């Protein structure tokens, strides 16, 4: 992508084939079968001798489960029914069914793949500072609350409507706690955030990037991490990174996501390390740009990390809840309920008044499927994949729908049908909460770059007296050779390996 300017090259976020969508306004609909008031989940404790189902049904709710060993049930109720139920002769009390989450944390595949966890016993990164030039950081995120010093520039650096910079920071430094994910440097690296992208997540300029690099140096950074790029060179920008190197700073940037052999800057300046993206099988991603300046490769496909929002999309049916993705442009809802009906490919309008329509992907576009579901009286559309796995869908640029629409994997769509879900009551929920502590998998060389930036700091922290050149040489010379033997334009020197690099740096002064 390119935009002409009299004053300098434009730089764009160079990362995600998958992004958290923009904040949506919940659309309340009065179509057939849609309750005018959203229902919430409660627990009712009953007195002995009363018919639970009749009590719940009379209040306009439905029983979700009977609690084993107790005279109580989890139910879904309109909020306005709670007070009346609390006074019912057969009810002891009514309370919210409070949510609980796993007090556990996930280790993204990139951590063991790059040997990062093999170095934690020897070095932590606590004496190093990484400067992240990006879209800011949602600093209130639960995984960025301890273990590191975080500073930034300019005012507003600690907010992130794009979620991109927060994702990058999570890969680098999500803390080792009991929730979310763990980063490459979970035990105390210092961060300096320079926000160069506004809330529109669109463009910045080479001049802005040069200024940001200089500010990183002034802030005492050891490593500069940039998950961004553009196709046009800038002498001013290149000089800024040469100056950073002269000041002892190692600069690292994303190779680009266009899947071609064009150069992307700043990654393609020789003084900057250029990072390609590969998947969990160590195969280069089809989107990863390849050229003579690619230095190294790191995990960049389906990388789970922190974001400043929670996007939940699910259908509850057949005794289970199946999570999926948001169909961009569809309405949001806290819960729309209707009997689940099989719409096939949804390539024609059916008699679906008040029903949730299950559609299979294929033949026609997503928007037409949702339009057909709505035209048939459907209150929500659930589109499941026609190949293994899930998918991200959109109704099209500028296209919206007044009914919720979510995506499911082929496996979940098939499981719902096999479990007898067709004909049963189902509830579709699609909600976006921002700001909030969330986690999403993203694709891109932007996701590969923070792996390399963090490992550089991790290795370097073993001996702060080492130079940027020594650290870079260690990373490149010990990378796992992939693709064509020796350095090649796709993988560069290969997959980065923290333990091998540290051993090499120690042994080769």
DSSP string of 135-170, one letter each residue: S---TT-GGGSSSS-EEEESTTTT--SS-HHHHHHH
Rounded Cα gap, residues 399 and 195, in angstroms: 31
Q: Where would I find the H helices in 160-201? A: 164-173
Give me the catalytic one of 134, 143, 211, 279.
134
Torsion-angle region of 61 (φ positive above 0: left; ψ -120 to 50: alpha; else: beta): beta
Asked if 126 and 97 count as a contact pair (C-beta separation under 8 A), the reply is no
Under DSSP, is residue 241 helix (H, G, I), strand (E, B) or coil?
helix
Residues facing residue 302 across a β-bridge: none
Closest CA to 470 of 248, 185, 247: 248
Give me the catalytic one of 446, 453, 461, 488.
446
Residues facing residue 72 across a β-bridge: 45
Instruction: Retrieve residue 379's tokens.
Output: 């209150």
Give me the catalytic one of 141, 144, 163, 164.
164
134 is an active site residue: yes
Rounded Cα gap, residues 79 and 96, in angstroms: 10
348 is an active site residue: no
Instruction: Retrieve residue 223's tokens.
Output: 């490593």
Three-state SS sequence of 52-101 = HHHHHHHCCCEEEEECCCCCEEEEEEEHHHHHHHHCCCCEEEEEECCCCC
Cβ atoms within 10 Å, residue 55: 20
412 is an active site residue: no
Pair type for strands 294-299 and 72-78: unpaired
Residues involved in catalysis: 134, 164, 446
């Amino acid at each position: 992508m390119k935009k002409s300017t009299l004053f300098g090259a434009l730089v764009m976020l160079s990362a995600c084939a998958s992004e958290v969508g923009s904040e949506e306004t919940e659309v309340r609909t009065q179509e057939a079968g849609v309750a005018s008031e959203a229902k919430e989940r409660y627990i009712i404790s009953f007195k002995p001798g009363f018919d639970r189902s009749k009590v719940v049904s009379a209040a306009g709710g439905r029983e979700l489960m009977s609690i084993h060993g107790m005279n109580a049930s989890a139910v879904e109720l309109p909020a306005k029914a709670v007070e009346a139920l609390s006074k019912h002769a057969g009810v002891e009390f009514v309370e919210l069914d409070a949510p609980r989450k796993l007090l556990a944390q996930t280790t993204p595949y990139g951590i063991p793949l790059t040997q990062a966890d093999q170095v934690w016993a020897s070095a932590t990164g606590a004496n190093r500072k990484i400067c992240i030039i990006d879209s800011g950081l949602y600093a209130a995120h639960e995984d960025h609350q301890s273990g590191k010093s975080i500073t930034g520039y300019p005012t507003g650096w600690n907010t992130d409507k794009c979620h991109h910079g927060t994702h990058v920071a999570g890969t680098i430094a999500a803390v080792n706690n009991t929730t979310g994910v763990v980063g490459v440097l979970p035990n105390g690296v210092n961060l300096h955030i320079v926000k160069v992208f506004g809330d529109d997540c669109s463009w910045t300029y080479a001049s802005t990037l040069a200024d940001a690099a200089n500010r990183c140096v002034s802030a005492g950074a050891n490593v500069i991490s940039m998950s961004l790029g553009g196709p046009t060179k800038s002498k001013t920008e290149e000089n800024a990174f040469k100056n950073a190197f002269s000041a002892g700073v190692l600069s690292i940037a994303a190779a680009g996501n266009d899947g071609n052999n064009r150069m992307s800057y700043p990654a393609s300046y020789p003084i900057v390390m250029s990072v390609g993206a590969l998947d969990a099988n160590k195969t280069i991603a089809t989107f990863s740009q390849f050229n003579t300046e690619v230095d190294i490769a790191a995990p960049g496909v389906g990388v789970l990390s922190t974001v400043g929002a929670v996007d939940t999309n699910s259908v509850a049916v057949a005794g289970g809840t199946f999570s999926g993705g948001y169909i961009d442009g569809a309405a949001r809802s806290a819960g729309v309920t209707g009997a689940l009906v099989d719409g096939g490919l949804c390539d024609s309008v059916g008699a679906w008044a008040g029903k949730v329509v299950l559609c299979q992907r294929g033949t026609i576009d997503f928007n037409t499927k949702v339009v057909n579901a709505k035209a048939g009286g459907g209150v929500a559309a659930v589109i499941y994949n026609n190949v293994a796995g899930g998918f991200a869908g959109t109704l099209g640029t500028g296209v919206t729908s007044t009914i919720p629409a979510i995506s499911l994997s082929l496996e979940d769509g098939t499981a719902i049908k096999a479990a007898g879900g067709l004909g049963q009551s189902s509830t579709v929920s699609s909600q976006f909460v921002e700001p909030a502590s969330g986690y999403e998998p993203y694709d891109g060389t932007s996701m590969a770059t923070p792996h390399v930036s963090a490992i550089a700091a991790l290795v370097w922290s073993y001996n702060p007296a080492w130079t940027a050149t020594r650290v870079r040489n260690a990373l490149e010379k010990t990378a796992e050779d992939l693709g064509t033997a020796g350095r090649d334009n796709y993988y560069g020197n290969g997959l980065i390996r923290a333990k091998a690099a540290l051993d090499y740096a120690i042994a080769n002064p």
